[in-house]
Structure 1
Amino acid sequence: MFKQLFSTMNDVLEEIAGRYPLAEGHERKDLEDQLAMLKSMSDVCIEEWLLFEEKMGKLVYTGKPQPEVPACVATLMPAAVQDEEANESFARGQGYYKLYMFTQAVEEFEKLVRQQPDFLLARIYLAMGYLRLGEYGEAYRHFQFLLPLTDNSKIRAITYNAMGCIHAQNQNMDKAYEYFKMAYRSDPTCVDAAFQLVGWTKRQ
């Protein structure tokens, strides 16, 4: 079905390309309208494909939906973006992350933090990418790097959360609980995703 659709779209595009250079008046306007329609169809196909890939990635990666980076991360964006180039690189990495393409996300964020070591939000995504890939040592190293660089309560909560998750994955439950408590003290609004990540039940 899709092969036939794109074959037809390509045929129409080739016809437009052949006629457009010599077209004038109403004919040129008609060709421009057809071109705009093709562009709209292409945009819809790409958008739907990205949505499908995101849903598929959630199932293919581990067989069940995975939690996202805590929602409170979004509030850090305005202070984190340093310049246009960094913004574009961050957007690419974040896009990979949202599509559960964690290897590509890590590669993008590694380049970014090498260029801007104090871009803390990029380092959070880098560390979370390593965490999703199961590379707990690398993830832990980047989270440790974050702590002395910021007094931001949300960043510290996210970091303590993730470090607690890593300890829980390694069956160091007392240490995990200690980090979860520190996360909660730092910012209670940023802890739920981490508890879900390891199926942790908060102790009273």
Structure 2
Amino acid sequence: MKIEDWFQTLRSKAETIEEKWSDATEQERLQLADQLFYLRQVSDTVVDLWLQFEERLSIAIRRIKQMEGQLPVDDKHTQVAVTNETSDKDSSQSEVASAPLKKGKESTSELKEANPYDPVFRRGEGFYHLRMFQDAKKCFEELMQHAPDWESGRLYYAYSLLFCEEQEHAFREFRLLSRSASSPTVVASSFNAIGCILAEEQQWLEAAQAFKSSLEIKTDQEEARYNLALCYLKDGDAQEALDEIEKCLQKDEDDWESQMLWLRAAQLLQSMDESAELAPPSPIQLPTRDLDTDTLQEMASLYESVGNYHRAQICYHFLTERLPREGWAWHGLAWNTWLIAGTKRALTLMKKAISLAPDQDDFTFSYGWMQLFDGKIDEAVRAFRQMLEKNRENRLGQSGMISAYEKMGEYAAAKRMAKEFTEDQEPYVRSLGYFHLGRLAVVEENWRMAEQYFQRTLPHISQLREVPIYMQLCASKLGEQTSVKELLQPEL
């Protein structure tokens, strides 16, 4: 049996025990507990054997390198390659308002070849890479008592503290290394970690300075560049974030985290400036089936927000392949297909979404909206009324009916329903009501009234992107010169 298959068997046993536990009798739970205890013994044995193997392997590699003349055989400091190992996302990232920071995981940069505490270092290193950070911390804490100048050991110690959520202590250790370490890699890594700690406290300006310091020491410190872009984004500097993240994509066009960050920054910039023309940089490739479900779903949403419906459509296509019973995936595919190719190609997909989730009002509304804009008003009205039969106060169904009344020329009925929105407790619903009234005033060419209604939607301008265009039209009809950019500026 392959080792991968053996571990899969162990994982399956653990999952089976978890699934059976809630419905098990007291006697069955005792048996399941015994099985869990056995699995824990297996895990402990594997860890011990792996640590022994890792230590022996490291010794063998060093001795072979010495025999080949790649390493000196005296007691002086020996340089060993540094690897960041940023591919392990679970233990190298932290969530900051839904966006991951890259803390990094450092391997050895300097060690004393004949140091008597080398076994302690190796054991701590083994625990660290197994993500057993409490055990790693104990090893490196012991190492620091006997070899406080061992830079790699102190760096590992600081990271272990960080992943044990002892931020204050970790911050002191990283600060010490940033000021005293001789290795540029250790200094740069320390500044990057300092920036991550500050960013988690939302001190964006100070964090950005730490990431800049990391890049000044090592210009190829890509984790720090990504983190700097993230800080710019969280601090509202969308253009600066785009500039930095594009540098990351030039280095690694397959970095999906950087691609996601570019999309978030583009979304923010577009919400700040509707006239901004954004096209994904050439390194951003088309989404692939290899991406996990959550990534595909978020990318689809972000692509939609910046108007790149073709890429959003690709994401949803892959999602429907992977999740054929999920109505939201079919709805996303249908909606973006409609935006690209119109109702004829999208309607079948939308019906599929509704059949999988018949109680989802969003899907019924989308179906009605497609029919409305295809000129099939009776079909649209039937869909909206179906929503209102279930709930007379359904604002989505009412909004669809207001647009249907407008199409049918029944302006009085449309105004009556829109005015109900303006009395709602929710600010967005009130703004939607004023938006509908503004559009009806435009149809009646009452430009001053339309302008006043649209002005009242401004607190929610980001959700109603058509408003600046309508206001520019009103200004033009009233003989005023107002640009879309001016309309987007907040009032002082």
TM-score (norm 1): 0.60
Question: Is 2:96 aligned against 1:65?
Answer: no
Deviation at 1:186, TM superposition (A): 0.7
Counterpart AA for 1:189: D
Asked if the contact 2:174/2:190 (under 8 Å) is kept, the reply is yes
The amino acid across from 1:66 in the alignment is S
1: CA distance, partners of 2:104 / 2:46: 27
Deviation readout 1:32-55 (Å, 9 max, x if unpaired) = xxxxxxxxxxxxx948x96xxxxx
Which residue number in structure 1 is paired with residue 151 of structure 2?
Answer: 120
Deviation of 1:84 after TM superposition, in Å, equals 4.3
User: Aligned match of 2:169 in 135, 138, 159?
Assistant: 138
Bigger proportion of residues as helix: 1
Matches within 5 A, 1:141-152: 141-152=172-183
* 1:60 corresponding residue in structure 2: none
Closer, same or farther: CA 193–183 of 1 in aligned 2, 3 Å: closer
* Counterpart residue type for residue 150 of structure 2: F
CA distance in 2, matches of 1:193, 1:181: 8
Corresponding residue for residue 92 of structure 1? 123
The whole-number CA distance in structure 2 between the counterparts of 1:140 and 1:82 is: 29
Indicate conservation of the 8 Å contact 1:106/1:129, yes or no: yes
**1:151–1:85 CA distance, 2 compared to 1 (3 A):** closer
SS of the residue corresponding to residue 189 of structure 1 reads coil
Letter in 2 for 1:67: S
Question: Within 5 A, what are the aligned runs for 1:165-176?
Answer: 165-176=196-207
Task: Give 3-state SS (helix, strand or coil) of 1:100's partner.
Answer: coil
- Indicate whether 1:159 and 2:193 are aligned: no
Deviation at 1:191, TM superposition (A): 4.0
Q: Quick check: 2:128–2:160 contact (8 Å CA) kept in 1?
A: yes
1:83-123: CA deviation from partner (whole Å, max 9, x where unpaired): 34321111000111111111110011001011011001000
2:213 paired with 1:182: yes
Percent identity, aligned pairs only?
Answer: 26
Deviations 1:104-155 (A, max 9, x none): 1001100101101100100001100111111110100111121232232111
Is the CA contact (8 Å cut-off) linking 1:161 and 1:194 kept in structure 2?
Answer: no
Q: Indicate if the aligned counterparts of 2:188 and 2:213 stay in contact, CA closer than 8 A.
A: yes
| Counterpart amino acid of residue 90 in structure 2 | P
**Are the structure 2 counterparts of residues 86 and 109 from structure 1 closer, same or farther at C-alpha, using a change threshold of 3 Å?**
same
Q: Letter of the 1:65 partner, please give it.
A: D
Structure 1 distance, partners of 2:225, 2:113, is: 28
CA displacement at 1:74 relative to structure 2: 4.0
Secondary structure of 2:117's counterpart equals helix
Greater RCO (CA < 8 Å, at least 6 residues apart): 1
Task: Find the residue that maps to 1:80 and give its secondary structure.
Answer: strand
* Cα 1:80/1:195, change in 2 over 3 Å: farther
Equivalent pairs, count:
144
- Structure 1 residues 138, 65: closer, same or farther in 2, change over 3 A? same
Provide the alpha-carbon RMSD of the alignment: 3.2
The Cα shift of 1:82 comes to 5.2
Which letter maps to 2:145? Answer: R
Work out the CA distance in 2 between the residues paired with 1:131 and 1:108.
Answer: 15
Paired with 2:138 and 2:219, the residues of 1 have a C-alpha distance of 31
Structure 1 residue runs without a partner (length 5+): 3-44, 51-63
Taking the aligned partners of 2:113 and 2:146, their CA distance within structure 1 comes to: 11
Aligned to 2:428: none
Structure 2 unaligned spans of 5+: 1-5, 7-44, 51-88, 94-102, 234-239, 244-492
Matches of 2:128 and 2:108 in 1, distance apart?
18
Q: Which amino acid aligns with 1:117?
A: P
Q: Distance in 2 between matches of 1:157 and 1:86?
A: 25
Q: Is the 8 A contact 1:183 1:191 kept in 2?
A: no
Tell whether 2:127 aligns with 1:102.
no
CA distance in 1, matches of 2:146, 2:139: 11
- 1:112 is aligned with what amino acid? L
1:5-16 matched pairs, under 5 angstroms: none
- Structure 1 residues 109 and 194, CA gap change in structure 2 (3 angstroms): farther
**Counterpart position of 1:11:** none
Q: Distance in 2 between matches of 1:184 and 1:194?
A: 7
